[in-house]
Structure 1
Amino acid sequence: MDLIDTHQHLIWRDRLGYSWTEGIPALATGDFTPEDYQAQTKGQGITGTIFMECGVDDADYQAEARYVATRVGGDGILGQIASCRPETNAGFDAWLDECDGLQVKGFRRILHVVPDEMSQSATFRANLKKIGRKGLPFDMCFLARQLPIAADLARACDGQPLILDHCGVPDIAGGAFDDWAKGIDRLAALPLVSVKLSGISAYCAPGTAGVDLLRPWADHVLNRFGPGRVVWGSDWPVVLLGAGLLPWIEMTRGLLASLSTDEQAAIGSGNARRIYRV
């Protein structure tokens, strides 16, 4: 099963600010570059990556996308998912237009670190629809408790392709399955919502992540969305807070082993090519 990594973060500290990494020892220092990623994944079946905006300091989010655009086409990078600010009209249209020339395949605004009300505003939703009119998807990053908000956003933005990052951030360590599963069910009922199998090893208690522990959560996502609406991502280097990059790749293959070859191919790379148009 070949893999397109739809959630590759990269960190260049001499160029951009990453205040969110402060206090996280595994991420607080050093760079995480395409060269580092390629060295770690050699021979693992990664056929390409899509850079995911890395939550840089607000002043830097456009500079990040402009720099990443210069790296697309090298080191296996197929395109990027850029940050945006749909909550404000000021400069939003101009940023979308500029991104036409920056190899942007989708957009994201991290929503679990801002007030819940942000994605509920008329301005946010009107601007999100502009992304859809450009034929581009929007990655939703919500916590499990926010999945009803995610479903409300999806219903209000009919016609906008959406991808739920990290399986909706389930509390696997706390065993909080039922409410999360209900939220997944609501989102899966909406045909333009897909889900990203990524990040979930970091939501396990330290040292416990494995195929057996993750299987009920992954199976629920796979059963509800179906193989045609699931994409894969590593969440590197944040995955270092969970199982680590290579173990997560191995776990992914184990979690998908019971699927047909065609279904594995769709999740591994085919759906990514279609949704992100790479």
Structure 2
Amino acid sequence: MLIDTHLHLIDRTRLSYPWLSGTPALDQDWTYAAYAALAKRMGITRALHMEVDVAANDIDNETCMVAQLMTQKDSLLCGAISSARPEDAGFDAFLEGLDKTTVKGLRRVLHVMPDDLSRAENFRSNIRKIGAAGLPFDICVAARQLPIACALADAAEHTRFVLDHCGVPDIASGEFESWANAITDLSRRPNVCAKISGITAYANPNWTLDTLRPYVEHIIQAFGWDRVVWGSDSPVCTLNASLEQWVAVTHALTIGASADELAKFHNQNATRIWNL
């Protein structure tokens, strides 16, 4: 049983995606039906929808879209990680109004924002409120911003964090040491978990299994099997691979793990973290 903790769906007829026009390879609709047809063949039994950085006025509409898809017969969707704006004055009302039958976690994409955003006390105070509300917060940062992730985790020690995409290593350039050191530092925070999700997007198109191996193995070594989860990052993973290839790579890179370790990585940790 494999839980996909990072599925993006794109419906341009319902929602506005300001960033999408700058990424032609992804600038199309990515439907639940197309994803489910592939996922069910590969052993993906449940999926969390990850917000797609929609326009701010479409955040609630995106959550409603996921809620509707969850009601379909035999739907794989088991919840949404919603977009949030912890820097906004109206965040308390937003948090209070969340439908937690759908919303299982929150995220604010940080790598496209000024570094100081997450350093502001209002932002950090609201991240602490997310933890108090029983919701995890996904950290989406570039590799150079991993120290920012450490500072945020320290400032909200009772909030559970999930690092997206292994911290976005620059696999294409072969850069490893500085990323690995920063990951080791971040992993010392017990309130942080790591998501191994779609890292083929950060490699060259001619990547191989051995290209990705040191990054995946270091994440697992640093965080341990109790604090790692899997995600597809579909459709972003299709930039240099396919969903099928990423699932195959995942199994190949963890082939030596025990049944207990794989159960934690494939589904048990995600079930615990997002209270599924």
Work out whether the TM-score is over 0.5: yes
In the other structure, the counterpart of 2:27 is 28
User: 1:22: Cα distance to partner?
Assistant: 1.1
Query: In structure 1, what is the Cα distance between the partners aligned to 2:98 and 2:198?
Result: 27
Where do 4+ consecutive residues of structure 1 move more than 6 Å? none
SS in 2 for 1:22: helix
Determine if the alignment matches structure 1 residue 3 to structure 2 residue 2. yes
Amino acid at match of 1:172: I
In the other structure, the counterpart of 2:204 is 205
User: 1:102: Cα distance to partner?
Assistant: 5.2
User: 1:39: Cα distance to partner?
Assistant: 1.3
Query: In structure 2, what is the Cα distance between the partners aligned to 1:101 and 1:204?
Result: 36
SS in 2 for 1:182: helix
- 1:1-278 equivalences under 5 Å are 2-29=1-28, 31-74=29-72, 75-89=75-89, 91-101=90-100, 103-208=102-207, 210-278=208-276
Q: Percent identity?
A: 48
* 1:54-83 alpha-carbon deviations (Å, 9 max, x no partner): 111222122211222222243210011001
Gaps of 5+ in 1: none
Query: In structure 1, what is the Cα distance between the partners aligned to 2:56 and 2:239?
Result: 24
More displaced stretch, 100-109 vs 76-85:
100-109
User: 1:265: Cα distance to partner?
Assistant: 1.0
TM-score w.r.t. structure 2 length? 0.96
More displaced stretch, 197-206 vs 66-75:
66-75
User: 1:23: Cα distance to partner?
Assistant: 3.4
Kept in 2, the 8 Å contact 1:201–1:242? The answer is yes
Kept in 2, the 8 Å contact 1:66–1:102? The answer is no
User: 1:49: Cα distance to partner?
Assistant: 0.2
* 1:178-234 alpha-carbon deviations (Å, 9 max, x no partner): 1101110111000010000002101111222x3211111100000010010000000
Query: In structure 1, what is the Cα distance between the partners aligned to 2:217 and 2:131?
Result: 29
Query: In structure 2, what is the Cα distance between the partners aligned to 1:79 and 1:164?
Result: 18
TM-score w.r.t. structure 1 length? 0.96
SS in 1 for 2:194: strand
User: 1:160: Cα distance to partner?
Assistant: 0.4
Query: In structure 2, what is the Cα distance between the partners aligned to 1:68 and 1:83?
Result: 12
Gaps of 5+ in 2: none
Please, what is the CA RMSD of the aligned residues? 1.1
SS in 2 for 1:232: strand
Instruction: Tell me the matched-pair count.
Output: 274
* 1:223-263 alpha-carbon deviations (Å, 9 max, x no partner): 01001000000001111112111000000001111110110
Inter-CA distance 101–189: structure 2 relative to 1 (3 Å threshold) = closer
Query: In structure 2, what is the Cα distance between the partners aligned to 1:14 and 1:102?
Result: 25
More displaced stretch, 137-146 vs 40-49:
40-49
Query: In structure 1, what is the Cα distance between the partners aligned to 2:267 and 2:147?
Result: 29
Query: In structure 2, what is the Cα distance between the partners aligned to 1:102 and 1:54?
Result: 20
